[in-house]
Amino acid sequence: MTDDRKIRGEARRRQVLGDAHVDRSQADPAALDAKFVDLTTVAAWGTVWASDALTLRERSMLTLAILAATGNWGEFELHLRATANTGATAEDVAELIQHVGIYAGIPRANHAITLAKRVLADREG
């Protein structure tokens, strides 16, 4: 079963984050993070992200909201860039940041807005 989840996970990870990102993360199979990459490929991508219970857009929005609410800014930026592949729009991002502001705090939402403006502008530019 893990092999199936790893295959599904790698495919979904490539679909969402892009081949270049995944290739970089797997470039050195002896790297310190190799086991961690395998773990996230199976657990996050092969189990959670591979589920058909939510659309990629919905899953993307949930992920962004949780990352912003918990202040995981590097991952927030990574998943903001991935909205180009998930169908989550700039309007969706603006709406989810409203929720972050109300439920996790204005400072988190302010930082999320700053990052979203930069990342989404870079993507369009």
Closest CA to 77 of 64, 89, 87, 66: 64
Structural domains in the chain, CATH included, are 1-53 (no CATH), 55-125 (1.20.1290.10)
State pTM to two decimals.
0.92
pLDDT tens digits for range 59-94: 999 999 999 999 999 999 999 999 999 999 999 999
The one-letter code for the residue type at 64 is: L
pLDDT tens digits for range 11-65: 999 999 999 999 998 888 788 888 999 999 999 999 999 999 999 999 999 999 9
The one-letter code for the residue type at 46 is: G
Asked if residue 50 lies in contact with residue 12, where contact means CB atoms within 8 angstroms, the answer is yes
